[in-house]
A and B are shown apart, each in its own frame.
Chain A
Amino acid sequence: MNENLKSIFYPLLLLGGLLVLWVFAVRNWGVPNYILPSFESVLGALHRGYIEGAYWKDFGYTLSSMLLGYVSGCALAFIMGMMFAEFRWLERLLYPFVLGLQSMPKVALAPLILVWFGFGIGSKAVMVALVCFFPMFINTAVGLKATDPSLIDLMRAFSASRLQILMRIKIPSAASHIFAGLQISIVLGLIGAVVAEFVSSSHGLGYLINNATTTLDTSTMFAALISLAVIGILGSQIIKFLQRKLVFWENDNDTQVAA
């Protein structure tokens, strides 16, 4: 069996084992449904949700707040990270504040953000943008600053402008860092979206989970969790794909990172 097949087959084997264990646990060992739903009831919830269509609206809500926040948060972080790396005075000015904000758990800001940005999808997107911002910002700034100085000398020797050095040398050099930021931000962004929905929302997968607590409806919780995982995995895979295509020159030392 080749390496690729193995890397698909082994996890599938484990997944199968866990599913069997699950089915057994519920059927034969009498684990109650409000602790662990039966496999069939989770499938039933997924069927109700996505075949009959009950969850699509919530799925769409979480996905759109996620996308909106992710794109704007990452774009802003990229620009800010670039300015930070390019202008020494800006770094001096802002560094302590960045450090302070970074060490604050961003999800703790969720209630405040709801107060400031309302209870609609806007506040959810802001929450996502906020948690996406820092990993992207730090990675961009660090990546740009880690550019091989001999490449910068090369550009300077040929009278390149500062903008040319940034666009032609620093950004390509930082590409792997930038993609690492994009990758981490997917996972963190999802956390942000769900937390914001927990705090106050009547839509979204986070809301479904939160709402199901009142009735101990664990099968809905499981179905929503699976949906969130799907968004996360798809997002990571898209980023990974883009990275392979765009940062092609570093594919040799491409390691399989868990997303």
Chain B
Amino acid sequence: MIQEGIPTMSGELIFRAENLGVTYQSSRGPTPALENFSTEMAKGEFVSILGPSGCGKSTLLKVAAGLLTPSSGVVELAGEPITGPRRDVGIVFQQPTLLKWQTVLDNVLLPIRTLGMDLEVGRARAHDLLRLVELENFERHYPHELSGGMQQRVGIARGLVHDPSLLLMDEPFAALDAMTRENMMIELQRIWMETRKSVIFITHSIPEAVFLSSRVLVLSHRPARILKDVTIDLPLPRTQETLGSARFAELCSELRAMFSQTKK
């Protein structure tokens, strides 16, 4: 795996939001989750989003996935306004969100079926991905027979199975133990570098964001604004050594300082 530099050279935009606003309406009145939110993301970038709980991160991801229509502003994917879900987008939800009545393998194959892709090719990819998330022996199990972390990994495999060019991940590693988490981080980085996907990655873990990203956005309390937009200049591929490097620690503490401001 010899690859250098951050693969964001194309300059083409994959995601753009301008003055984006989302307000939830409920019986207790309106809740603005995003207000005047603007950002741009180039094709091939790995952008992590850090922000306090309830600030609007999942909301942003749902807008990007075409599941939520913004109340105001402009959002575009690859230069086109978002009107609904798109085939080349993969999503990993904050909750595993599995079908209880289907096996692990069938759950992973769901996008292949709904998108009408070749089932044989899909099966081969599903096997590979399940090996990657260390669940190759659980293909025929049902979700209720898995732990929370295992279910989340099924969700990760499902988000990748149709080889999307944009991957939206909502705290995908939150339920994993430290070891599995580290493996997943390294695998996700490998996939990103090899396939040049664009990734929007929500996390609460600063080291995770620094390790994986080409850029990290720190958001404020609800309604979310971008407090800081940090480019991570650590060389690729990042390894175990990176985690111990001085620059890594420096970036982490810089972000932590920023992040702790949001807590007040």
Interfacial residues of chain A within 109-166, with CB under 8 A of chain B in the complex: 150-151, 153-161, 164
- Could you say which of B87, B91, B99, B113 contacts A151, with CB atoms under 8 Å apart? B99
CB atoms of A159 and B110 under 8 A apart: no
Residues of B at the A interface (CB closer than 8 Å) are 62, 65-67, 84-87, 89, 91, 93, 95, 97, 99-101, 110-111, 113-115, 142, 144, 162
Residues A158 and B93 in contact in the complex (CB < 8 Å), given A151-B99, A153-B67: no
A247 to B142, CA, bound (A): 13
CB atoms of B144 and A157 under 8 A apart: no
Q: A168-B99, A168-B114, A249-B100 are in contact. List 14 more A-B contacts (CB 8 A).
A: A150-B93, A151-B99, A153-B67, A153-B97, A155-B114, A156-B85, A157-B67, A157-B85, A157-B89, A159-B85, A159-B115, A172-B99, A247-B101, A249-B101
A153 to B66, CA, bound (A): 10
Supply 25 A–B pairs (Cβ within 8 Å), ascending by A.
A150-B93, A150-B95, A153-B62, A153-B67, A154-B93, A154-B97, A155-B114, A156-B66, A156-B67, A157-B66, A157-B89, A157-B91, A158-B91, A158-B110, A158-B114, A158-B162, A159-B86, A159-B114, A159-B115, A161-B114, A168-B110, A172-B100, A175-B101, A249-B101, A252-B144
Q: Which residues on A sit within 8 Å (CB–CB) of B115?
A: 158-159
Q: Which residues on A sit within 8 Å (CB–CB) of B67?
A: 153, 156-157
- Could you say which of B62, B87, B101 contacts A159, with CB atoms under 8 Å apart? B87
A151 to B89, CA, bound (A): 17
- Closest chain B residue, CB of each to CB of A171: B101
Closest 6 CB pairs of A and B: A160-B114, A158-B111, A249-B100, A158-B114, A172-B101, A157-B91
**A169, CB-defined interface residue at 8 Å:** yes
Residues A164 and B114 in contact in the complex (CB < 8 Å), given A156-B67, A172-B99: yes
Q: Which residues on A sit within 8 Å (CB–CB) of B114?
A: 155, 158-161, 164, 168
Q: Which residues on B sit within 8 Å (CB–CB) of A156?
A: 66-67, 84-85
A252 to B65, CA, bound (A): 34
* Cβ distance B170 to chain A, nearest Cβ, rounded Å: 11
Chain A residues with a Cβ closer than 8 Å to the other chain, count: 21
Q: Which residues on B sit within 8 Å (CB–CB) of A168?
A: 99, 110, 113-114
Q: Which residues on B sit within 8 Å (CB–CB) of A250?
A: 100
- Closest chain A residue, CB of each to CB of B161: A158
* Cβ distance B161 to chain A, nearest Cβ, rounded Å: 10
Interfacial residues of chain A within 201-259, with CB under 8 A of chain B in the complex: 247-250, 252
Q: Which residues on B sit within 8 Å (CB–CB) of A249?
A: 100-101, 142, 144
- Indicate the member of A157, A161, A249 with the most B CB atoms within 10 Å: A157
Interface string of A161-188 (1 = CB under 8 A from B): 1001000110010010000000000000
* Cβ distance A117 to chain B, nearest Cβ, rounded Å: 40
Q: Which residues on B sit within 8 Å (CB–CB) of A161?
A: 114
Q: Which residues on B sit within 8 Å (CB–CB) of A160?
A: 114
* Cβ distance B83 to chain A, nearest Cβ, rounded Å: 12
Q: Which residues on A sit within 8 Å (CB–CB) of B99?
A: 151, 168-169, 172
- Closest chain A residue, CB of each to CB of B87: A159
Interface string of A40-65 (1 = CB under 8 A from B): 00000000000000000000000000
A172 to B101, CA, bound (A): 7
* Cβ distance A252 to chain B, nearest Cβ, rounded Å: 7
Q: Which residues on B sit within 8 Å (CB–CB) of A248?
A: 101
A159 to B90, CA, bound (A): 10
Q: Which residues on B sit within 8 Å (CB–CB) of A164?
A: 113-114
A131 to B86, CA, bound (A): 46
* Cβ distance B15 to chain A, nearest Cβ, rounded Å: 16
Q: Which residues on A sit within 8 Å (CB–CB) of B142?
A: 249
Q: Which residues on B sit within 8 Å (CB–CB) of A155?
A: 110, 114
- Closest chain A residue, CB of each to CB of B168: A157
* Cβ distance A164 to chain B, nearest Cβ, rounded Å: 6
* Cβ distance A144 to chain B, nearest Cβ, rounded Å: 15
A249 to B143, CA, bound (A): 9
